[in-house]
Amino acid sequence: MAENIEDSGDVTQQRCIEDVCYNKCDNGTCSRTPRLGSDSAYRCECHEGYDVKRNDQGEYCEAIGCSSNPCGPPEEGHQCSVSGDNG
């Protein structure tokens, strides 16, 4: 990512700046506007079927355990539940 720097002459220079959204928020979109009260430099908006999770590196999108009906259709009596610390 580059930032334009205006010069006093006829030259416009560029300098590289860190793209805080590079390689972030797979299965979602990254915004350079952090959540209120967050120490992260960005925030994730996740696609349907994914939830925002956080780790030491910041936010990421993780699949919701039962969003894809892995147990079969609920109308046929199948019920999915997420156990452990994934849900």
- Check residue 64 and give its pLDDT: 87
Encode burial over 66-76: b for 16+ CB neighbours within 10 A, e otherwise.
eeeeeeeeeee
- Check residue 86 and give its pLDDT: 47
Residue 84 has pLDDT above 50, yes or no: yes
Domains in the chain: boundaries: 21-65
pTM value is 0.60
Fold of 21-65: Laminin (2.10.25)
Q: Please list, in sequence order, all residues whose beta carbon lies within 8 angstroms of the beta carbon of residue 39, skipping any fewer than 6 positions away.
A: none
- Summarised one tens digit per residue, pLDDT across range 18-74 is 788 988 999 999 999 888 888 888 999 999 989 999 998 899 999 987 776 767 777
